[in-house]
Amino acid sequence: MNELLGIAQRFMIDGQAVEAKPLGNGHLHKTYLLTAKQGSAQNHYVLQEVNTLVFKDPDALMENIHRVTTHLAAKLPPAEVRRRTMAFIRTRDGGLYLKDEQGKCWRLCWYVQGSYTVEVPKTTRQIYQSARAFGDFLKNLADLDGPPLKETIPDFHNGVKRYQRLTEAIQKDKVGRVKEARPEADLILNNANIFEKMAEWIWTGALPLRNTHNDTKVNNVLFDKATDEAICVIDLDTVMPGVAAYDFGDQVRTTVSESEEDQTDLSGIAVQMDRFEAIAKGYLDGAAGMLTDIEIESLMLGAKMFPLIMATRFLTDFFEGDWYFSTHRPGHNLDRCRTQLTLFESICRNEKQMAAVLGK
């Protein structure tokens, strides 16, 4: 705790840092809710230790985020800036982040008061709101000036590379777990054509590269406690060039079924069409004006691809010994892989109806 308070004090916070406690359910960084006392008032911030095993170039990472957040902030009335976009605070030396004496990287932003997050949305209103927030996000970043955003994780959504990596992990079988998950691995490898199709649409130029979020899991949206409105998109680490189908696909993955990403009971995991309608309407109300017909058609491919690419990544991590995603029990990544494959199969069964919704 003292280490955290000392770190926080090296940023331009208002007041004296007095408390830091763990916040949220991210799989990669260490995140804390920080309280600073200023006279009788309390200020709240989010302090994060960046995972530099995953984000190897923190300068590029924070430069991207700085460009994105200042661009979004310029479109908001000043009073809304700390509520509707992430607002980062510089270090006392003027840096976008702090590298401490042990080489750890830290960053700090304002905490959005009166907000909440969900792992599994309960209502179609929340789902519509969340999808809408990501559609708006895409639109708001369409006029970002300057050079392309840096690729903070190269080939992040390159499904072809992801399944090649899975194949390598199977061959190496570093921790002897391949025998535990043969059917899962086969199901993924038999559907690799989905990754190839997406790659082809991108490589032929059918789908334009835009500034996409690339991690549109529903817990990366803040909702207003009073109104349930989605007010702020968070977790901007992977905002970089991508295709709209990625952002749509990860929204479908995390909201179309009323289930947890890591539940062990697979029986309740299935597409619910009323949820899908809310996602489609929300995303298209936000972004439609700028999407081409082919992009709208590609959204269905994104919906199929995302459970599959996440199944691939969770299974690869399981076979490589769980070094990437934080795990809280043995077999956690395999459980995650299984939920994703169950969802994938349900999406394949419902593909026609889902495409019809998008067609409307």
Q: Does residue number 215 form part of the binding site for ligand GN1 (CB under 6 A)?
A: yes
- Alpha-carbon gap, residue 341 to 337, rounded angstroms: 6
Structural contact between residues 18 and 36, judged by C-beta atoms closer than 8 angstroms: yes
State which residue, 83 or 325, has the beta carbon closest to ligand GN1.
325
Query: Which residues 94-133 are close enough to bind ligand GN1 by CB under 6 A?
Result: none
Select 247 or 261, whichever has its Cβ closest to ligand GN1. Answer: 261
Site for Mg ion contains 250 (CB under 5 A): no
The amino acid that residue 131 corresponds to is: A
The angle formed by the CA atoms of residues 318, 319 and 324, to the nearest 5 degrees, is 50
302 and 256 in contact (C-beta within 8 Å)? no
Rounded to a whole number of angstroms, the minimum distance from the CB of residue 38 to ligand GN1 is 30
Which DSSP string do the residues of 162-215 spell out, in sequence order? HHHHHHHHHHH-TTS-GGGGHHHHHHHHHTTHHHHHHHHHHHTTSS--EEE-S-
> Between residue 225 and residue 244, which ones bind ligand GN1 under the rule CB under 6 A?
235, 237-238
Phi first, then psi: give them for residue 89, nearest 5 degrees. -115, 135
Q: Judged by CB, which is closer to Mg ion: 26, or 242?
A: 26
Which residue matches tokens 């690799």? 192
Nearer to Mg ion, 298 or 340 (CB): 340
Q: Which helix (H) or strand (E) holds 233?
A: strand 230-233
C-beta of 35 vs 55, nearer to ligand GN1: 55
Crossing angle of helices 293-320/182-190, nearest 10°?
Answer: 150
- Closest separation in Å from C-beta 293 to ligand GN1: 28
Encoding tokens for residue 80? 């809304």
SS3 138: helix
Among 9, 10, 23, 28, contact with ligand GN1 (rule: CB under 6 A): 28
- Closest approach, Cβ 324 to ligand GN1, in A, equals 7
Helix H or strand E segment including 108: strand 105-110
Q: How many residues interact with ligand GN1 (rule CB under 6 A)?
A: 12
Q: How far is the CB of 182 from Mg ion (least distance, A)?
A: 31
Rounded distance, CA 332 to CA 195, Å? Answer: 25
| Among residues 11, 20, 26, 45, the one that binds Mg ion under rule CB under 5 A | 26
Binding marks (x or -) toward Mg ion, 217..236, rule CB under 5 A? ---x--------------x-
Site stretch for ligand GN1 (CB under 6 A), options 12-20, 25-33, 111-119, 351-359: 25-33
Report the C-alpha gap between 45 and 47 in whole angstroms.
Answer: 6
Which does residue 206 bind out of Mg ion, ligand GN1, none, counting CB within 5 to 8 angstroms by kind? none
Candidates 20-28, 102-110, 162-170, 349-357: pick the segment binding ligand GN1 (CB under 6 A).
20-28
Taking a C-beta distance cutoff of 8 angstroms, is the pair 213, 236 a contact?
yes
- The residues binding ligand GN1 (CB under 6 A) are 26-28, 54, 215, 217, 220, 235, 237-238, 261, 310
